Amino acid sequence: MNAHLQRALMLLDQARYELAIDELRQVLASEPNHAVAHAVLAICFSNTKNDNEAQREAELAIHLAPDQAFAFYAQALVMANRNQFAAAQTAIETAIGLDPYNPNFFAQLAQIRFNQSDWKGTLEAAQTGLSLDAESAACTNLRAMALVKLGRKIEAQEAIGAALKRAPEDEYAHANMGWTLLEQNQPEKAMEHFRESLRLNPEMDWARAGIIEAMKSRYFLYRIMLNWFLWMQKLQQKAQWGVIIGAYIGFQLLSGFAAKHPEWSPLLQPLLILYIAFALMTWVASPLFNLVLRTSPFGRLALSKEQIRTSNWVGVCVLSGIMLVVAYFATGAAALLGCALACVLLIPPLGGIYRCQQGWPRATLSLVTIALGFMAAVVVSTLLVSHWLTHDIRRPLQGIGLLYFTPLLYGSIGAQFLTNALVSATPKRGTHTEKKVWVIGGTLLGIAAVATCAFIALIVTIGIMDPT
């Protein structure tokens, strides 16, 4: 084997992609039609998010060696990293057809199916890989992950325990064990494995996310919410929507029944209130408890930059709401209570932004949140100004505040259904969709903002010039 190619493969295993690319360029300088070098180069480019070059190299490798399984394996990795899972699955199945005895190919197939929430397919592919190599760490971990999603927790724990005995320095196995223990309501034991995983690989986001959830689940209320979140994640997307819509329809039916049969109200009203409280907690629990973690020295270190940024904005909303409520009790001005509610209504969409994947889903929810934030600013400013004014424009300003409060309220509620859809969306990497969303959405928001300001200015001007 070419010495530069050997060094490139070693650097690839060490995740030193830029150095591996340099070695591969030297291979191709002397052997421009080296299919394996092109395939490995595709993997390196993909891991550095140079998607167009990665795809070009993968296609070139297949063109040079259409009967070589590794070229299709590289293409599967490239397409999977771009979140184009259908194309990735086609490529890896072609690789398996050419070489059906490579456990790494089945591990990649299992990973693709896991990303598509196909838990049974993940388990099947991982088990096939293990039948070829009983000590495959990738297949063992993916099998355990699938077992957890399928609710077979004891089998998952046994599988991960066996993997850790064979390879106690496997960061993925430790992270897997952490999540398995978290599902069993053992946050302290889960923390130990998440810490060990991060010690072995400080850049492992999955373990970092686990340690944050473990810290928050020390609080009884959040532990209930975490069990709900983990249960929902196991369901297919259609089933998740079925649960959400079914619960909402049930709430509406019970509300209507209670309204028509008052004698049942003492029994039904607590259930309806419990549903509303639970629904609200599913929207705000995660960002609020992230804010609580900011008070812990270790919690501050565990939170990601995105979570810290979100908790900052949530903290502003919470503090503003509390100050306005205190002012309401001090002055008795109902307008202050409306302003406080406007601030609180921004917490759910703010908490959902970084739950969406980078790309057009996050851009879409960001624009929706900006729009709701603008409406909240209009509500707060108009109601506050109208409260302190004695001029005849006081009533028109109150009218504007109340006018924008209605779409803010329903927009905040609707944003939660939108968030559920966007969190499930998987954007294709390397496209310009995100930029288009920002340009089109930003333009529309700008026009709406200018129109709103002009409308308010017109109302104020008319009120000043014509006090009658």
User: Are residues 456 and 311 part of one domain?
Assistant: yes
Average pLDDT for residues 281-305, to the nearest whole number?
79
User: Are residues 296 and 205 part of one domain?
Assistant: no
pLDDT digits (tens, 9 = 90+) for 226-237: 777 777 777 766
CA atoms within 13 A on the CB side of 93: 8
User: Are residues 192 and 75 part of one domain?
Assistant: no
Last residue of a domain, one of 242, 272, 303: 303
User: Are residues 437 and 348 part of one domain?
Assistant: yes
Q: How far apart are CA 213 and CA 215, in angstroms?
A: 5
User: Are residues 85 and 20 part of one domain?
Assistant: yes
What pLDDT does residue 161 have? 86
Q: How far apart are CA 421 and CA 36, in angstroms?
A: 40
User: Are residues 323 and 278 part of one domain?
Assistant: no
Confidence of residue 468 (pLDDT cuts 50, 70, 90): low
Average pLDDT for residues 258-282, to the nearest whole number?
81
CA 121 vs CA 72, 94, 117, 142, 198: distances in Å: 20, 17, 9, 11, 29
What pLDDT does residue 124 have? 95
User: Are residues 186 and 149 part of one domain?
Assistant: no
H helical segments located in 332-359: 334-344, 347-352
User: Are residues 325 and 236 part of one domain?
Assistant: no
Closest to 195 (Cα-Cα) out of 208, 176, 183: 208
Last residue of a domain, one of 163, 183, 209: 163
User: Are residues 182 and 138 part of one domain?
Assistant: no
Q: What is the mean pLDDT of the chain?
A: 87
Last residue of a domain, one of 246, 271, 303: 303
* Identity at 233, one-letter amino acid code: Q
The answer to whether the CB of 380 falls within 8 A of the CB of 402 is no
pTM, 2 dp: 0.74
pLDDT surpasses 90 at 182: no
Confidence of residue 284 (pLDDT cuts 50, 70, 90): confident
User: Are residues 382 and 323 part of one domain?
Assistant: yes
CATH number at residue 33: 1.25.40.10
Q: How many domains does the chain have?
A: 4
Confidence of residue 296 (pLDDT cuts 50, 70, 90): confident
What pLDDT does residue 384 have? 86
User: Are residues 433 and 355 part of one domain?
Assistant: yes
pLDDT digits (tens, 9 = 90+) for 326-363: 988 888 888 888 899 999 999 989 988 988 888 899 99
Domain carrying residue 206: 164-218
Of the chain, the end-to-end C-alpha distance in Å amounts to 92
CB burial of 387-420 (b: ≥16 within 10 Å; e: otherwise) equals beeeeebeebbbebbeebbeebbebbeebbebbb
User: Are residues 336 and 298 part of one domain?
Assistant: no
